[in-house]
Structure 1
Amino acid sequence: MSRRYLVWALCYAAIGMALGIYMAASHNHGELVTHAHVLLVGFVLSLVYGIIHRLWLEAPRRGLAVTQFALHQVAAILMLLGLFLLYGGKASEETLAPLLGVGSVGVLLGMLLMLYMVLRPGSARSAEPGAPDRAAA
């Protein structure tokens, strides 16, 4: 899962950077909120989830890990699409509210699932310095 998250994170980074370059070149910063969310919810959060999988999750349930991954990516895309349409003036806030709501709640649920996987007994390695690494045993 860590590689999947890394690939998606880098894709979001490229999209966020391209949007930032477009805004700078056009002198139209109307998509600033979208740009920030692509980089934070898309790039940073996906990268953090990938790091958590690589460093802390020893044996997450496959179905739960895949569900959390899919939920985060679908919800992030819904949120980012809604923000892009809203700040690009393509649709009204009233029209996009359900899309933005579902996306936002989905991102939150993805975070809560990640928290559950980290806290679930037997699934996470200790991150404490000097703690034995169960993966190395």
Structure 2
Amino acid sequence: MDRKFILTAFGYAILGLLLGIYMAASKNPTQHVTHAHFMLIGFLLSFIYGLCHKLWLNNSTSKLAIVQFYVHQLGAVTVLIGLFLYYGRFVSLEAIDPLLGISSIAVFIALVLMKIEFIRCTRTNNQ
């Protein structure tokens, strides 16, 4: 799981930095919120999850770890697409808000699942 998280983290970083470079070159910062979410939810959080799997979770491939990976990716991608569409003025807030809410909850659930993985790992290692 560590490799999957790290590879997706770098993918988010590349897209986030490309968006940042585009905003700087065009002198149009309207996607700054999307850029920040690419870098934080996409890159940083995925990278931290990858480090957690490598350093503490023994690169677990349990069902919980797999579910946590896909819930995070689905939530992150949906948040990022929704923000891009909203800040790019392709859709109204009323149209995209429910999707942003649900996808944000998915990112939150993935974080809770990571905590559960840590609790399980700690219990296993202490026995």
Residue aligning to 2:77:
77
Unmatched tracts of structure 1, length 5 or more: 127-137
Q: What RMSD, in angstroms, separates the aligned Cα atoms of the two structures?
A: 1.4
In terms of fraction of residues, the more helix-rich structure is 2
Q: In structure 2, how many angstroms separate the alpha carbons of the residues matched to 1:77 and 1:86?
A: 14
| Contact 2:76–2:103 (Cα < 8 Å) also in 1 | yes
> Percent identical across equivalent pairs?
45
Partner of residue 16, structure 1: 16
- Distance in 2 of aligned mates of 1:56 and 1:93: 40
How far apart, in 1, do the equivalents of 2:115 and 2:84 lie?
29
- The runs of 4+ residues in structure 1 deviating greater than 2 Å are 58-61
Structure number with larger C-alpha Rg: 1
Query: Does structure 2 retain, via aligned residues, the 8 Å contact 1:5–1:46?
Result: yes
Q: Deviations over 1:2-27 (max 9, x none)?
A: 00001000000000000000000111
Deviation, structure 1 residue 60: 4.2
TM-score, normalization by structure 2: 0.94
Alignment match, 2:25: 25
Deviation at 1:58, TM superposition (A): 3.0
Note if contact 1:4-1:50 (Cα within 8 Å) is conserved in structure 2: yes
Q: TM-score, normalised by structure 1?
A: 0.87
Question: Between Structure 1 and Structure 2, how many residues are aligned?
Answer: 124
